[in-house]
Structure 1
Amino acid sequence: MMTDAELIQWRANALRFEQQINQCVIGLQTAVRQLVIAVFARGHVLLEGQVGVGKTTLLRAVAQGLGGHFERIEGTIDLMPADLIYYTYLDENGRPRVDPGPLLKKGERLSTFFFNEINRARPQVHSLLLRAMAERSVNAFNRDYAMPHFQVFADRNRVEKEETFELPAAAKDRFMMEIRIDRPDDDALLDQLMFDPRFHDTDRLIAGVESGGMAYDRLNDVAETVQIKIQTSPKLRQYALDLWKATQNPGEYGIQLADADMKQLLLSGASPRGMSYLIRAAKIRAWLEGRDYVLPEDVQAVFAVCTQHRLFINPVYGYRKEQLVPQLAAAILQHVATP
């Protein structure tokens, strides 16, 4: 476990890391903070947004700052599970060769794995990825390969629905957070993005982030130390428990949504794993804010991104899912008494 002095230095590093990313992608401060929290909570992240809103640039900036090795794969309809493990080709002598795929190529040095348009990949691919995410290892060629620093960042285009596969509940639950990236609506920000040449060259923009400034191979130790040192009071624990119960039976907490039968609205609320992720994320936020204890505002700040993708709506209300889930998450925070 790290000393208090080391943890203070790491907090300074984390805030500098956050500042550098905010210089690459403007107008996404909330999403950047959520990503930084996920990095130090060692949780996988699912990004959702329209085309061209900065998802890839954001993740490239994160990978640049973390150091280690970065791998990326494109989700396609014909992608097979084996494509994550190895690829075959003919060498210059016309002989067949097998080389490691993106999950194995960098071995234990793999730090950031970006799965672009994950919903275009088949469920079989999702299944293999789930094991890698859960166990940070993969089995291939009759042996297990450990990836102790491996963190998945996947994105999903919510506009195009053709040739896509909805992520199953088990897959969604492996992601600590689902972060929505929306296009900016501030005229000043749009003016910068359109006319400032600095934002036209993505490679040069990413190069401005200090490479490897985060010592990726020590992040697990930092995360473990923060989880031990940041305290939660009995009242805070009860508050978190009440939030979890409200995701299971919102009607019992007086929550009502327009034109929705609260007894039939939910098929399933947040899982125990999801609430564990919520507390881990809240502790990291408290640490970033310079405290050694969690406040309700820490939990509230990460509640939506840690729980919304774990609230599964009855198919009867499927056509209103994009509207009802955020409303339900907001109503839970509003109706559950804050200590």
Structure 2
Amino acid sequence: MDALLQDWRTRALQVEQEAGRAVIGQPETLRLINVALFARGHVLLEGDVGVGKTTVLRAFSRAIGGAFERVEGTVDLMPGDLIYHTFVDAEGRPRIEPGPLLRQGEALTTFFFNEINRARPQVQSLLLRAMAERSVSAFNREYRFPHMTVFADRNRIEREETFELASAARDRFMFELRMLTPVDREVRRALALDPAYHDADLLLEQVAPAILPWQELNLIAAAIQTGVTASPALQDYVLDLWQATHTPQQFGLAIDGVDMQRLVLAGASPRGISSLLRAARVVAWLDERTYLIPEDIAAVLPAALGHRIFFTPVYEIRHAAIADAFVAQLMARIAAP
């Protein structure tokens, strides 16, 4: 198994490298998407218009291989649109065919939901089951897609004709990543002036396709989880982090201008802490270790927990800024082993 995991580590790093051929200036985003892939978690990307969210997700899909489906979030999208497609054929007869969730069967590996916050809550609810159970019921039978990873993106600028994701929906995503416009001047120069970065389709053609035997992803992910251990001291550290998301004042967390007694409506869920540890084990594996260290936790904590701490209404309107400060306090105040 050790030799197999070593071979897969090489493949995993190659996936990240290949996806990086289509984007520039986003190394942390690339690493965290790769971590989520091997931790078998779903990813929500948020960012400004035109930063390359769709391109980076398409690049990973191409490198992973398997079947790919894409849905555009619109205000008139209905749950049934994910399940079936109705149309009139060339002979004028009505036809029903499987929709994007079903048409690939068990070969569905990447499901990309573009601008998910434009879809109605009913659509988001159907997606929740597909994400949690990797199955849906339709046409009097159960359809399963055990290898599926859901990638979604959300436009954080526009708010009209959008539907904010419910807390249960956000909790289904292992990571919520903010993909920001690069600030490095040379990266900006390349993005603005180098024609190579002006055609996304040409960029994606540079990504080597189907690097992974995607049918084995679940097996390898399980091997990673059993192969990377956590010491009792590190387990206690994680439990303290979890408790601090519920009772921050107990651990001395403080944010300027915030009443910590009235801040938290709900802390991280058991699923959230499980996701944190699953992702941290993948970080350790990619660094060729069989044990966890606090740095592994720190590497994924903002992406894994920032969207899983819910604030009271007076503070929730500033969620992004307060969540960043909250996570920073978690890492500063909770003593690591």
Give TM-score scaled by structure 1 length: 0.98
Deviation, 1:207, is 1.4
Root-mean-square deviation (CA), in Å?
Answer: 0.8
Question: Aligned pair 1:245/2:243, yes or no?
Answer: yes
**SS in structure 2 opposite 1:24?**
coil
Deviation, 1:185, is 1.1
Selected match of 2:253 from 255, 266, 288: 255
**SS in structure 2 opposite 1:23?**
coil
Indicate the residue corresponding to 2:74 in structure 1: 76
Deviation, 1:319, is 3.2
1:179-194 to 2 correspondences below 5 Å: 179-194=177-192
After TM superposition, which residue ranges in structure 1, 4 or more long, deviate above 6 angstroms? none
**SS in structure 1 opposite 2:21?**
helix
How far, CA to CA, are the matches of 1:140 and 1:267 in structure 2?
37
Selected match of 1:203 from 201, 222, 226: 201
Question: Aligned pair 1:338/2:332, yes or no?
Answer: no
How far, CA to CA, are the matches of 1:217 and 1:318 in structure 2?
40
Number of matched pairs = 337
Question: Aligned pair 1:224/2:222, yes or no?
Answer: yes
Q: Is the 8 A contact 2:310 2:316 kept in 1?
A: no
How far, CA to CA, are the matches of 1:69 and 1:75 in structure 2?
20
List per-residue Cα deviations over 1:150-183 (Å, max 9, x = no partner): 1100111010000111111110111100011000
How far, CA to CA, are the matches of 1:303 and 1:31 in structure 2?
14
Deviation, 1:23, is 2.2
Indicate the residue corresponding to 1:121 in structure 2: 119
Q: Is the 8 A contact 2:75 2:161 kept in 1?
A: yes
1:38-49 to 2 correspondences below 5 Å: 38-49=36-47
Deviation, 1:268, is 0.5
Q: AA paired with 2:281?
A: K
List per-residue Cα deviations over 1:269-311 (Å, max 9, x = no partner): 1101100000000000000011111110000100010001101
Identity of matched residues, %: 53
Selected match of 1:287 from 285, 288, 292: 285
Indicate the residue corresponding to 1:23 in structure 2: 21
Q: Is the 8 A contact 2:248 2:260 kept in 1?
A: yes
Deviation, 1:318, is 2.9
Deviation, 1:192, is 0.6
1:76-115 to 2 correspondences below 5 Å: 76-115=74-113
Tell me, which stretches of 5 or more residues in structure 1 are unaligned? none
How far, CA to CA, are the matches of 2:199 and 2:48 in structure 1?
20
Selected match of 2:53 from 49, 52, 55: 55
How far, CA to CA, are the matches of 1:40 and 1:61 in structure 2?
16
Deviation, 1:209, is 1.3
List per-residue Cα deviations over 1:59-113 (Å, max 9, x = no partner): 0000000100110001111000000000100000000000110000101000000
How far, CA to CA, are the matches of 1:131 and 1:178 in structure 2?
18
Higher alpha-carbon deviation: 115-124 or 200-209: 200-209
Indicate the residue corresponding to 2:232 in structure 1: 234
Tell me, which stretches of 5 or more residues in structure 2 are unaligned? none
How far, CA to CA, are the matches of 1:20 and 1:322 in structure 2?
31
Deviation, 1:17, is 1.2
**SS in structure 2 opposite 1:154?**
strand
Higher alpha-carbon deviation: 240-249 or 319-328: 319-328
Give TM-score scaled by structure 2 length: 0.99
Question: Aligned pair 1:8/2:11, yes or no?
Answer: no
Indicate the residue corresponding to 2:62 in structure 1: 64
How far, CA to CA, are the matches of 1:300 and 1:104 in structure 2?
38
List per-residue Cα deviations over 1:131-153 (Å, max 9, x = no partner): 11111011100000110101100
Higher alpha-carbon deviation: 205-214 or 280-289: 205-214
**SS in structure 2 opposite 1:309?**
coil
How far, CA to CA, are the matches of 1:6 and 1:207 in structure 2?
29
